[in-house]
Amino acid sequence: MHKIVILTGAGISAESGLETFRAEDGLWAQHRVEDVATPEGFVRDPKLVVDFYNARRAQAATVEPNAAHRALARLEAEHKGEVIVITQNVDDLHERGGSRAVMHMHGSLKGALCAACDHRWPAAMVMAPGDPCPSCAAPAARPDIVWFGEMPYDMDALFDHLASADIFGAIGTSGNVYPAAGFVAEARRAGAHTLEFNLERSSVGSQFAEHRTGPASQTVTTWVDELLSR
């Protein structure tokens, strides 16, 4: 049975009420990336960074998964073959929507990381600069988010999934950030059928064999219905 690999970005959570990054009024219009999403920014002003993620963690707790998240969970539950969700998102809407095989390549708001010993543990809802690491006790807790310039998580496993995909779908991502933006090329090399779900063509839109244009809550639901009725 077909193995389906899905990549999601901020656009899949937009209809749940979470801002995307590169919309006119998006997160990167309100905050300087170099200040809140780089290791240098964290060293320069840890409180600014920790508060930025405290705000996103609090907001993510107030919103609900939407029909697109739920459709992917249904696909995983009912499709005979393997379904893997690789997400760039740090919210937990895929899990709350019912997906179980979710890989957070850019980390998660639910996680904390020790900048001194790399220990990871469940984050408090509100983190403070200098929180102690429960493992090594260093005052070095940071949000478990992969910042620009840092290596995403699980890269070997991600590329193994892409190499064995029969179908690759990218949902709600602008294709501006690598390595995720390069996943469609990997999937095509593996012979997968590739689909892009977006409101418009992404920066790598021309590399997809098929495009489903419109809000993910509609296009993903329709696609999953088609796949499961085959």
Please report, as ranges, the residues that interact with ligand APR according to CB under 6 A. Answer: 9-11, 14-15, 20-22, 26, 88, 106, 172-174, 176-177, 197-200, 202, 215-216
- The candidate with the shortest Cα–Cα distance to 55, out of 95, 12, 89, 19, is 19
Strand 102-104 with 83-87, pairing: parallel
Cβ closest to ligand APR, residue 115 vs residue 177: 177
Active site residue 106: yes
Strand partners, 169: 6, 195
Nearer to ligand APR, 11 or 65 (CB): 11
Q: Which residue is nearest to ligand APR (CB)?
A: 11
Of the pair 108, 202, the CB lying nearest ligand APR is at: 202
Min CB(15)–ligand APR separation in Å = 5
Out of 31, 106, 119, 193, the active site residue is 106
Which amino acid is it at 98?
Answer: G
Bridge partners (DSSP) of residue 6 are: 85, 169
User: From the CB of 170, what's the least distance to ligand APR, in Å?
Assistant: 9
Rounded least distance, CB 178 to ligand APR, Å: 10
Angle between helices 67-78 and 216-229 (to 10 degrees): 20
Task: Say how far apart CA 162 and CA 186 lie, in whole Å.
Answer: 6
Pick 122 or 179: Cβ nearer ligand APR: 179
> Would you name the residues annotated as active-site residues?
106
